[in-house]
A = this chain, B = another copy of it.
């Protein structure tokens, strides 16, 4: 038996999320199909965690057990030729048999991208949230700092969750801004919000972004984030930001 670890990117637009579901088109479904056809086995794929419908990944990590003797350097090309063009495998590595993509993940980074301009950007409309009005980037950056550290993130978690503990640790947050002047709007730009933690609750990054956007527009003060966090009440936070701006950026192991 061999344990194969892979890094996979996908454009989540066309999928009902990562996780396999009956009668739905999912990333996991496509990956299992491709690997199963290649190896002739029924393969079950484990990931670092699911991503919601419409959410993308630059570097989702998966692993699976196989008896296939295919040399490790041939896996990527062989699987890519059996995958649709919105899913790509970038690396393949043989791991000890006890490696588990979810249990062993130590830290995850998500990126949320915003196209800040008067006009939508047709070329990035499926990977960036369009936000027409001006945003105070520095205030957004400072408000995110209140979330760093170990906290109970109940306020930033969908009420449709069943996990026992809402305590997670955010190791770091950052907000990058890059001017991208466009036709008819010289002030246009792209904002990337990076959040790194030991794990994330259901919709956590999207609710954080939805709340921080309200800080950016001036609807809330930056320190309100602290009060929302302390209240442990989902109703106090902002709306869940749309899925398409979110990308699973990186997963780190030991």
Contact = CB atoms under 8 A, between A and B. Distances in A.
A78 interface: no
Nearest to A11: B122
A59 B125 CA distance: 17
A246 to B, nearest CB: 13
Of residues A10, A123, A182, which shows the largest number of chain B Cβ atoms within 10 Å of its Cβ?
A: A123
A203 interface: no
Interface in A158-206: 182-185
A58 B59 CA distance: 29
A9 B188 CA distance: 15
Interface residues of A, number: 27
A56 interface: yes
A122 B14 CA distance: 12
A87 B127 contact: no
A87 B56 contact: no
B7 A183 contact: yes
Task: Quickly give the copy total for this chain.
Answer: 2
Contacts of A183: 7, 9, 58-59, 90-91
A127 B10 CA distance: 16
B182 A90 contact: yes
Interface string A44-67: 000000000000101100000000
A80 interface: yes
Contact of A123 (B11, B90, B119, B185): B11
B11 A90 contact: no
A6 to B, nearest CB: 10
A71 B119 CA distance: 18
A29 interface: no
A89 B56 CA distance: 27
A211 interface: no
A185 B122 CA distance: 28
Of residues A76, A121, A183, which shows the largest number of chain B Cβ atoms within 10 Å of its Cβ?
A: A183
By Cβ-Cβ distance, the 6 closest A-B pairs, closest first, are: A90-B184, A90-B183, A91-B184, A11-B122, A9-B122, A7-B183
14 contacts: A7-B183, A58-B183, A76-B119, A85-B120, A86-B122, A86-B125, A88-B119, A88-B120, A88-B121, A90-B119, A90-B182, A90-B185, A91-B184, A123-B127
